[in-house]
Chains A and B, each alone.
Chain A
Amino acid sequence: MTHSSTAGAPASGRSAPGDTDPGVIRNFCIIAHIDHGKSTLADRMLQITGVVDDRSMRAQYLDRMDIERERGITIKSQAVRLPFAAADGREHVLNLIDTPGHVDFTYEVSRSLAACEGAVLLVDAAQGIEAQTLANLYLALENDLQVIPVLNKIDLPAAQPEKYAAELAHIIGCHPDDVHKVSAKTGEGVEDLMQTIVDVIPAPMGDADAPARAMIFDSVYDTYRGVVTYVRVVDGRIGTRDRISMMSTGTVHELLEVGVISPEPSPASGLGVGEVGYLITGVKDVRQSRVGDTITTVTKGATEPLGGYRDPKPMVFSGLYPIDGSDYPILRDALDRLKLNDAALQYEPETSVALGFGFRCGFLGLLHLEIVRERLEREFDLDLISTAPNVIYTVQMEDGNEIVVTNPSEFPEGKVALVTEPVVKATVILPSEFVGTVMELCQNRRGSLLGMDYLSEDRVEMRYMLPMAEIVFDFFDQLKSRTRGYASLDYEPSGEQTADLVKVDILLHGDPVDAFSAIVHKDKAYTYGVAMAQKLRELIPRQQFEVPIQAAIGSRIIARETIRAIRKDVLAKCYGGDVSRKRKLLEKQKEGKKRMKMVGRVEVPQEAFIAALSTSEAPAKK
């Protein structure tokens, strides 16, 4: 070894990008629930280290997209290099690796964590830890990260720092006095926290002379630069002139630029052991630069990738349809654009009798679905209907055929031997007074209790095994409403189970309405059928003939409602002064007719589909 590359050796103090002594590097992330102040804390660190001056400081500097800013959540992580003059007088390099904060992005979170040696566990001093934070904490502990517990918002009147310090200490197994107390808003305690980061988080370890290996922890499409890939170098060095290879696919790319973010991109000569930065290769699709993959150099490249790579796998499916059918090409182009920046988004064209032309889309989870939908509507000015979200089912037929169902209307007719559905391990953290009502909810949703722990006197962690289908179907809203908003939820996929599932079809005047078909447990088929039939009876206007609405399993009718025939559709009076007004009314009604969808002979206003679908669909809201 020509020079030192471990934390144990004396540090040289080199701190220029591409030539940084690993001994002064601290790679860390912040684990926090959505509104517990992660972005505000990051802002404060940017200011304290002087990389952003007060004037150009905009609140939550690191959250780039409008949606993120409005919702106060971070969808795409970034890594910021912060120079910090530590107490020993040496300049240190703190790399803050931002992590996505939601359950749907568990895998991305795990890769961000894998790029760090330590984590700041940030908890709102007025709310305590939330289920997703706890789940991410466990992920961090699994990755052997040094965890620094921090209570934020201590300036709030409602803050209970003593109570929640005890809770955190109990969870991590430290002393309540070890819990930092800060206010990211006022800056109180933030500098001390940064010194603690230097003191307790280990410097990165790696072999500078080994073949280069860098892990991709994020990949972002930029309109001007193409894909920007965020990496953490583990071994060796990646220089500007290197040609690099993606180890999962073996594809080779030229490097156009290597650099660090501080907080704007700044090119560097390369990235060495322990450093965090970005690469630009000119590829145009994030699928070519996947989170979790290992990058090496083509010359003297590594043979063994770093562990932990996984293909993103959609868990939740929904049909997305433009309300105005002529917007279909815009939707297609918009999905093509979003795909460039979203390796997990999958879609394929789909046609619905009720909704026309659209796409069946696969998402990591409900929030992912909602974010994509919202971006499509906002950035591409589209009005969309989405069908009730569903999971993937595997149907085994008695003849041995196996069919994978991502759209309930594809559920096979004929003799079904076995249906399997995905299940999740769910963690719910809630005040103890709501334990009964949440147990009832989970039992109704076919859950089985795995365990239950008191985090503090009045806060409980409950662990359930639940069918994923039951979670995507308004579970989160129910949980929130039953606990007055206090419960938090996290879940992770946990394999599959067989279940007694059937497809319920909704028939309008004898014709099935594909958008309303649902795969439900046998015991709930009747309830679903009755509820849907009643809802449609209220939403669909009367026709000139009687319209039966039926719910059916196969050919067996399980519920029926009737829309009576309309008998009167005429204005009583039409004299001289009424002509213009009445003509305009007719013109408006004629226009309305254009927005009607025909299901067989029945005219259904688009609004009825939207209303029927929107009440049965409950995307997770923060």
Chain B
Amino acid sequence: MSEPLSLYVHVPFCSSRCGYCDFNTYTASELGDGVDRASFHTHLASEIAMAARTLAPSYQVDTVFFGGGTPTLIGASALCDLLARIRDEFDVAANVEVTTEANPDSVDPQMLEELVTGGFTRISIGMQSVAPHVLATLERTHTPGASSTVAIAARAAGFDHVNLDLIYGTPTESNDDVHRSLDEVLDAGVDHVSAYSLIVEDGTALARRVARGEIAEPDDDVAAERYELIDDRLSHSGLRWYEVSNWSTPGSECRHNLAYWRNRDWWGVGPGAHSHQAGRRWWNVKHPRTYAARVSAGMSPAEGHEETTPEQQRLERLMMGLRVREGVLANEVECPQSAVLDLVERGLVEVEPAHEPAARIVLTRRGRLLADAVARELAVISDAPSGLDAPTAKQANPT
């Protein structure tokens, strides 16, 4: 029996850098000499072959995800070649899900058709907002409306699933702006929406502008209100939450991302990409030039790794498992029932179905907004027996 494997392919290029972005991506001018965008996919192909030599016989690839950066910047044929290479090297499931991320201004109908023909089944488009002033604050280059046009075209080209990404909570944004963005998302008829609250990441242009006082800091209370607003409208239109920041029509969940949250095994190909196999995590060197040099010399591009302890694995299962609608198995979190009941009482989780051995702990909507706090609570509480309480118990009972 072969294990399911997810492959992530990182394309580290963008035509310009958005102010809020801290991803491992490079514009032409940031990239410098020694790396050629046009031929970079050959290095990615080399790592795919490397991954196959390590894993192939015992795994079957069931999801592939091209992310970035802007994968579509290297062109449809390069993307399709890489997918073909994956098919050559691995056993690939018949119903494989193949996603690419795209920016509205980096694709056209012809490219969409090429991708579908090459085997791509899903596209995820960075829309963020329809409000021009919000896009300006985020330093996005596309014009409002472009994203929904691409989404409609993608459906027409034959993609099974189309996602639109939204960012909410930008300081220049109003509730009205969010409503208008949602209007457009729903009009485009997509089957999947990701909505992320704006995070000011250290080292970004946005962080510098916030520090200088040019832009207000995003407000968590506003973000919470917008989250509820988004959740209301999407649910009302048949897109239900299946992860804290993701909604879809039934059956249109992103299987690749579910693999992360379910703690499955995956291999990340490309500069800075992370991988996970059976509790071992590793990550590649970040810069495309260093990456290319390593891979073309036949060396592993891995820069570091960690073996997670059972305790760390449990915390990871908690923090990721709680994010998804299926929740975590109550008897797997190893914490006293009283703690779970306390969370239930406070309206943060529900136990479904209650009082059954296979009961799962699932976040309520309030709980989704406090998911990290819930994870910490369940983790801390289950620490206790091995911590302070144990010696006392031993002393109290000398036999």
Contacts of A587 in B (CB 8 A): 312, 315
Within 8 Å of chain B (Cβ to Cβ): is A210? no
B369 touches A576 (CB 8 A): no
In-complex Cβ contact of B224 among A567, A577, A582 (8 A): A567
Contact, CB under 8 Å: A544 / B196: no
Task: Looking at the assembled complex, report how far the CB atom of A575 sits from the nearest CB atom of chain B, in whole angstroms.
Answer: 6
Q: Which residues of the other chain, A, contact B197 by a CB distance below 8 angstroms?
A: 568, 572
B273 proximity list for chain A (CB < 8 A):
577
Structural contact, B320 and A577, CB atoms closer than 8 A: no
Contact at B245–A569, with CB atoms within 8 Å? no
Assembly CA distance A574 to B324 (angstroms): 11
Partner of A568, one of B198, B260, B370: B370
Q: Tell me if B274 and A583 are in contact (CB < 8 A).
A: no
- Residue B223 interfacial (CB < 8 Å): yes
Kindly state whether residue B330 has any CB partner on chain A within 8 Å: no
Are B380's CB and A570's CB within 8 A? Answer: no
Cβ of B221 under 8 Å from chain A: yes
Is B126's beta carbon under 8 Å from chain A? no
Asked whether, in the complex, the Cβ of A579 is within 8 Å of the Cβ of B316, the reply is: yes
- Chain A 579-618, CB-CB to B under 8 Å as 1, else 0, gives 1101100110110010000000000000000000000000
Q: CA–CA, A567 to B373, complex, Å? A: 11
Query: Which residues of chain B from 323 to 361 have any CB-CB distance to chain A below 8 Å in the complex?
Result: 323, 346, 348
Q: With an 8 A cutoff between CB atoms, is B33 at the interface?
A: no
A566 contacts partner chain B, Cβ-Cβ < 8 Å: yes
Cβ of B368 under 8 Å from chain A: yes
Residues of A within 8 A of B227 (CB): 568
Q: Is the CB of A569 within 8 A of B370?
A: yes
**In the complex the two chains form, is A574's CB within 8 Å of B376's CB?**
no
| Cβ-based interface call for A573 (8 A) | yes
Which B residues are CB-close (under 8 A) to A571? Answer: 199, 372
Are B196 and A574 in contact (CB-based, < 8 A)?
Answer: no
User: Complex Cα distance A587/B383, Å?
Assistant: 12
What's the least CB distance linking B20 to chain A, in Å? 11
Known contacts A570-B244, A580-B274: A544-B375 contact under CB 8 Å: no
Q: Which residues of A contact B257 (CB under 8 A)?
A: 575
From the candidates B274, B379, B383, name the one contacting A586 in the complex (CB within 8 A): B379
Q: Which residues of A contact B370 (CB under 8 A)?
A: 544, 566-570
What's the nearest-Cβ distance from chain B to residue A574, in Å? Answer: 6
Among A566, A570, A575, A580, which residue has its beta carbon within 8 angstroms of that of B371?
A: A570
Determine if A583 and B315 form an interchain contact, defined as CB atoms under 8 angstroms apart: yes
Task: State which residues 299-324 of B face A: CB under 8 Å.
Answer: 306, 308, 312, 315-316, 319-320, 323
CA distance A325 to B396 in the complex (A): 22
Q: Are B316 and A583 in contact (CB under 8 A)?
A: yes
A570, A577, A589: most-surrounded residue (chain B CB, <10 A)? A570
Q: How many angstroms between the C-alpha atoms of A566 and B379 in the bound complex?
A: 20
In the assembled complex, the Cα of A544 lies from the Cα of B373 at a distance in Å of 9
- A566 — which chain B residues lie within 8 A by C-beta? 220, 370, 373
Is A577 touching B283 in the complex (CB atoms < 8 A)?
A: yes
- A118–B274 Cα gap in the complex (Å)? 80
Is the beta-carbon distance between A568 and B224 smaller than 8 angstroms? yes
Given A567-B224, A571-B372, A593:B323 Cβ within 8 A: no
Q: Within 8 Å CB of B379, what residues of A? A: 586, 590
* Chain A residues near B261 (CB-CB < 8 A): 574
A414 to B223, CA, bound (A): 49
- B-contact bits for A364-394, CB 8 A (1 contact / 0 none): 0000000000000000000000000000000
B376–A570 CB distance below 8 A: no
Q: How far is the CB of A372 from chain B (nearest CB, A)?
A: 31
Least CB distance from B394 to A in Å reads 19
The residues of B that contact A573 with a CB separation of less than 8 Å are 196, 199, 245
* Contact, CB under 8 Å: A579 / B323: no
Q: Which of B196, B312, B319, B373 makes the CB contact (< 8 A) with A569?
A: B373
Nearest CB of chain A from residue B50's CB, rounded to whole Å = 18
Instruction: Determine if A570 and B312 form an interchain contact, defined as CB atoms under 8 angstroms apart.
Output: no
**A589 to B372 alpha-carbon distance, docked (Å):** 10
Say whether A572 contacts B369, CB under 8 Å: no
Complex interface residues of chain A between 525 and 547 (CB less than 8 A to chain B)? 544
Q: With an 8 A cutoff between CB atoms, is B90 at the interface?
A: no
| Most chain B Cβ neighbours within 10 Å, of A566, A573, A576 | A576
A570-B370, A576-B276, A577-B274 given; A586·B375 CB < 8 A: yes
Q: How far is the CB of A191 from chain B (nearest CB, A)?
A: 62
Q: What is the minimal beta-carbon distance from A146 to any residue of chain B, in angstroms?
A: 65
Contact between chains at B221 and A575 (CB < 8 Å): no
For B223, what are the chain A residues with a Cβ–Cβ distance below 8 Å? 568
Closest CB in chain B relative to A346 CB, distance in Å = 33
A577 cross-chain contacts in B, Cβ below 8 A = 268, 272-274, 283
Q: Tell yes or no: B281 within 8 A of A by CB.
A: yes
Chain B residues proximal to chain A, CB less than 8 Å? 8, 196-199, 220-221, 223-225, 227, 244-245, 257, 260-261, 266, 268, 272-276, 281, 283, 306, 308, 312, 315-316, 319-320, 323, 346, 348, 368-373, 375-376, 379-380, 383
Can you list 24 A-B pairs, Cβ within 8 angstroms, ordered by A? A544-B373, A566-B220, A567-B369, A568-B197, A568-B223, A569-B369, A569-B371, A569-B373, A570-B368, A570-B373, A572-B197, A574-B244, A574-B319, A574-B320, A576-B260, A577-B268, A579-B320, A580-B274, A586-B315, A586-B319, A587-B312, A590-B376, A590-B380, A593-B380
New A-B pairs, 7, CB < 8 Å, besides A544-B370, A586-B319, A587-B312: A567-B221, A568-B197, A586-B372, A587-B315, A590-B376, A590-B383, A593-B380
CB-CB nearest 3 A-B residue pairs? A567-B224, A572-B196, A570-B371
